[in-house]
Amino acid sequence: MAQPHSSKTIALILSLVCILTCGCTQKPGVRRFGSVIGIEKKNIAEYKRLHTHAWPDVLKQIEESNIRNYSIYLGEVKKDKFYLFSYFEYTGKNFDRDMKKMAKDKSTQKWWKHTDPLQFKLPTAKKDEWWSNWQEVFHYQGPGGFKKSQRFGSIIGLKNSPEEIIAYTQLHAAAWPGVLKAIEKANIRNFSIYMGQLKKDEYLLFSYFEYIGDDFKADMKKLAQDKVTQVWWTYTDPLQQRLAIRKKGEHWSSIEEVFHTN
């Protein structure tokens, strides 16, 4: 009988995968972050209201903290089990310093007094985390330029055996060139996938990408018909777990954007 993987062994392997997937894809001067926190169903309306009318001083502080392209998504993982998923890009030179400066900002502190009680920390969060920072396991920059884009967030479960987790991360550490080409042809750019645990041994994937084409449905249909991508999915789909509450026809479950800054 094979010796079971220890949690330390899994952590070591995944940290090596993180070096492969993240260390070489982050552009100089830009760091990407994906993070997650819980929210009770009863608090969703107030959270949306606040973020529809975010305070100008808070938005100014986000910008001064060198954070751009900041989106927050709302997703239902199980019936009445809701979570918030955030994506942002950091363009500064000292992340810790900028975050400390933000934490000392009076307007931001007042804002957090309104928003923090609406959220709850994940049981898997690190001691010093409020939002849980998840691991980026895939990134593809795709087409360049500054065309107007649509943003999409989605989630799906990940099977939790060490072998399946490692297989998924290793595949995405060295994604096939043909798959990347098909993504680009589908007018998808700035595509990241993050992996984390909502609770112990409950893994989830959160994806963010930007679409710069003119016909999303047509481009997604072409992507689904691409032969290389179809073969790729025979490897990746069995490692994932569709959410029971997904919409009809979905593999990944789409999630709602409730906040965005440029």
Q: Is residue 125 one of the residues assigned to a domain?
A: yes
Q: Is residue 58 one of the residues assigned to a domain?
A: yes
What is d(CA 54, CA 212) in angstroms, rounded to the nearest whole number?
A: 27
Q: Give the side-chain half-sphere CA count within 13 A for 183.
A: 20
Q: Which CATH number fits the domain that encloses residue 89?
A: 3.30.70.100
Q: Is residue 262 one of the residues assigned to a domain?
A: no
What is d(CA 62, CA 70) in angstroms, rounded to the nearest whole number?
A: 9
CB 123 within 8 A of CB 37: no
Output the furthest CA–CA distance in the chain (Å, rounded).
61
Mean pLDDT of the chain: 91
Q: At 204, phi and psi to the nearest 5?
A: -140, 150
How large is the average pLDDT for residues 122-132? 96
Distances in Å between the Cα of 27 and the Cα atoms of 31, 140, 141, 167, 201 are 7, 11, 9, 26, 32
Q: At 13, phi and psi to the nearest 5?
A: -65, -45
With H, G, I as helix, E, B as strand and everything else as coil, classify residue 16: helix
Confidence class for position 20, pLDDT limits 50, 70, 90: very low
For helices 177-185 and 216-225, what crossing angle results, to 10°?
160
Q: Is residue 7 one of the residues assigned to a domain?
A: no
Q: Is residue 4 one of the residues assigned to a domain?
A: no
**What are the tokens at 217?**
């449905």
Q: Is residue 5 one of the residues assigned to a domain?
A: no
Q: pTM of the prediction?
A: 0.90
Confidence class for position 208, pLDDT limits 50, 70, 90: very high
Helix (H) or strand (E) run with residue 102 in it: helix 95-104
- 54-75: b or e for each residue (b if 16 or more CB lie within 10 Å)? eeeebeebbeebbbebbbbbbb
pLDDT computed for residue 148 by the predictor: 80
DSSP-derived secondary structure for 64-84:
HTTEEEEEEEEEEEETTEEEE
pLDDT computed for residue 116 by the predictor: 98
Q: What percent of the chain has pLDDT over 70?
A: 88
Angle subtended at Cα 221 by Cα 220 and Cα 222, rounded to the nearest 5 degrees: 90
Q: Is residue 59 one of the residues assigned to a domain?
A: yes
What pLDDT, in 10s, does the model give residues 42-77?
999 999 999 999 999 999 999 999 999 999 999 999
Q: Is residue 3 one of the residues assigned to a domain?
A: no
pLDDT computed for residue 145 by the predictor: 65
Could you give the number of structural domains in the chain?
Answer: 1
pLDDT computed for residue 144 by the predictor: 76
How large is the average pLDDT for residues 230-259? 97
What is d(CA 11, CA 87) in angstroms, rounded to the nearest whole number?
A: 23
CB 108 within 8 A of CB 26: no
Q: Which residue has the tokens 């954070």?
A: 67
How large is the average pLDDT for residues 224-231? 98
pLDDT computed for residue 143 by the predictor: 81
What is d(CA 228, CA 141) in angstroms, rounded to the nearest whole number?
A: 19
What pLDDT, in 10s, does the model give residues 104-123?
999 999 999 999 999 999 99
Range of the domain at 162: 14-257
Task: For the chain, give percent helix, strand, coil, nearest 5.
Answer: 40, 30, 30
Output Rg (C-alpha) for the chain, integer angstroms.
19
pLDDT computed for residue 111 by the predictor: 98
